[in-house]
Structure 1
Amino acid sequence: MGEDFLPYKTRLEYLGFDLRGIRLVPGSYTAQAFITTDLDDNQITAFHPGAMSASHTHAIDTVPDITMGVVSPDGREGMLQHARQFHEAGIPFLFDPGQGLPLFSGPELLVFLEQATWLAVNDYEAQLMANKTGLSFEQLATRVDAAIMTQGAQGSRVFTGNEVISIPAVPADQVVDPTGCGDAYRAGLVYGLSHHWDWNRTGRLASLLGSVKIACRGGQNHTLTRAQLNEKLQEKFGFSLDS
């Protein structure tokens, strides 16, 4: 993080996050993204990486007790090194390349898949990976334990083994802002994976969280208590976090 991190640090502490893995980079600002969204939810993003460019200098072994990882859009070297470090340490991780996909060649993406346990992409990113590697998404999916492809209002699909599991989209109360919906979906994936849920439950939790997010403006302004989430899960899918 950059020298402007303090107000956000206060917010994260208020929310109860463990900040032991965060390091400040002197002379840098925290990475910033400015996203313009039109009425059809098309987006243009202006991005300044700032302190993120130093992510490769921060090894995963500086944080104790890691049981699962996520390699998501970051500095190019940071993504390469953290994936390799997770793999060498025997720590399962989700490869979520997102906007970082154009940074890598086809062979480099295949190395990521050799190291990763799971893959998560949207339909556009899935096609981009296929174009870069020369392999279909179905072929790419065989290289990890499971590959998840989100498809917006059409829901999502989980490719695992010889099975393709369809996950329904949850209609939003209102569509306000798609920014951060993919991240909310991935929060559901991480929760389900870390609690050893099956893919039907994991995908449905992820789908619901994406639906909750899209009804709020901004990537982090939505709130949901455990009781409220359980109520929504029970209403939509007939299960809860505790059942």
Structure 2
Amino acid sequence: MRIAVTGSIATDHLATFPGRFTDQLVADRLDRVSLSFLVDDLDIRRGGVAANISYGLGRLGLTPLLLGAVGPDFGAYRSWLEENGVDTGFVHVSEKRQTARFMCTTDLDQNQIASFYGGAMAEALGIDLAPVAARLGGLDLVLVSPNEPRAMLRHTAQCHDLGIDFAADPSQQLTRLEPEEARTLVDGARWLFTNEYEAAVLCERTGWRQSEVLDHVGVWVITLGAEGARLLRAGGQVTDIPAVPVTAIADPTGAGDAFRAGFFAAVGWRLPEETAARLGCALAALALEAVGPQDYTVTADTLLGRIRGAYGRTAAAALAPHLERSA
């Protein structure tokens, strides 16, 4: 299966605050917040939602096509992604803007305060799926992940026009979308991805109830953090997939992206969605145990051991032939 991943490519600046954000807030002064957090460390890591998902897919043996916009500082990052199985041949390189930056501070409770500078991502609107699909002989699936909002809308429209299955992952861009834009990004998606909070925001933004959202998509995948994931389908069908236990959380950044990578790797192998969600949970566990969204190690033995421990031998056996061949 030829999978294209559209969205952000960024450098992550990840800091750790050795306290709790909530302890610094004064209840009757929330209209005048001015806070500075002295952090203990700073890790600079490769990131961006589309790049993180592509890295996970590449580590699982697929060759995802990464579609995003970067700056002239992308050289070393490009080499890293290609070494890990990602096709970067269609990444747009800006002549004027630097690669996007994600700046995030995490406290003791794993709460996060983050800022995102789009930089070259503003030029993602110019990326055209039609010539890409033509040169490659077609695309089987496009994942529309967080990006410049107009680019997300364009790529969704092109999937409709070209008859390509797509997954909608509006994520943190939901709050920037007008109601009609949010509905456009969701409508017709074979898969819709949100976390639990984003699910509520999506309903508020679209003006649709949960049942109405499900009338417009194939499967709605809601990630639930430590509770795993939930698969929703029209007609009220709900499937809960428990999380894979984590030994210790090193950094939550990128865990959702790893889940998506595992999910779509299994989709690429034509496996059922429940099996795909189990692989997603296992890959997310590995990401949680590493600092940085592209710093976890993937081996077949490790993944199968985690899946076997969480879901049993039958679940592991369903994935074993694919993981042993590719991971």
Instruction: Please confirm whether the aligned pair reaches a TM-score higher than 0.5, indicating the same fold.
Output: yes
Q: Partner residue of 2:119?
A: 50
Tell me how far apart the structure 2 counterparts of residues 181 and 137 of structure 1 sit (CA, whole Å). Answer: 25
Q: What TM-score does the superposition give when structure 2 sets the normalisation length?
A: 0.71
Secondary structure of the equivalent of 2:291? coil
Map Cα deviations across residues 185-238 of structure 1 (whole Å, 9 max, x no partner): 111221122222212211111111111110111111111123432333233322
Aligned length: 243
Q: Partner residue of 2:79?
A: 10
For residue 148 of structure 1, report the CA deviation from its aligned partner. Answer: 0.6
Tell me: higher relative CO, structure 1 or 2? Use CA pairs within 8 A at least 6 residues apart: 2
Is 1:68–1:194's contact at 8 Å kept on the other side of the alignment?
no
Map residues 95-110 of structure 1 onto 2, 5 A cutoff. 95-110=168-183
Secondary structure of the equivalent of 2:156? helix
For residue 75 of structure 1, report the CA deviation from its aligned partner. Answer: 0.4
Structure 1 residue aligned with 2:302, among 216, 225, 228?
A: 228
Flag as ranges the 4+ runs of structure 1 deviating above 3 A: none
Q: Partner residue of 1:30?
A: 99
Q: Compare the two structures and name the one with the higher strand fraction.
A: 2
Q: Partner residue of 2:229?
A: 156
Query: In structure 2, what residue type is equivalent to 1:142?
Result: D
Secondary structure of the equivalent of 1:40? coil
Q: Partner residue of 1:21?
A: 90
Tell me how far apart the structure 2 counterparts of residues 17 and 113 of structure 1 sit (CA, whole Å). Answer: 26
Task: Indicate yes or no: 2:253 matched with 1:179.
Answer: yes
Query: In structure 2, what residue type is equivalent to 1:164?
Result: V
Moved more, 229-238 or 209-218: 229-238
Tell me how far apart the structure 1 counterparts of residues 263 and 299 of structure 2 sit (CA, whole Å). Answer: 18
Cα RMSD (Å): 1.5
| Unaligned runs of at least 5 residues, structure 2 | 1-69, 322-327
Q: Partner residue of 2:215?
A: 142
Tell me how far apart the structure 2 counterparts of residues 40 and 101 of structure 1 sit (CA, whole Å). Answer: 25
For residue 176 of structure 1, report the CA deviation from its aligned partner. Answer: 1.2
Q: Partner residue of 1:115?
A: 188
Secondary structure of the equivalent of 1:86? helix
Q: What TM-score does the superposition give when structure 1 sets the normalisation length?
A: 0.95
Q: Partner residue of 2:163?
A: 90
Is 1:21–1:62's contact at 8 Å kept on the other side of the alignment?
no
Moved more, 55-64 or 130-139: 130-139
Identity across the alignment (%)? 33
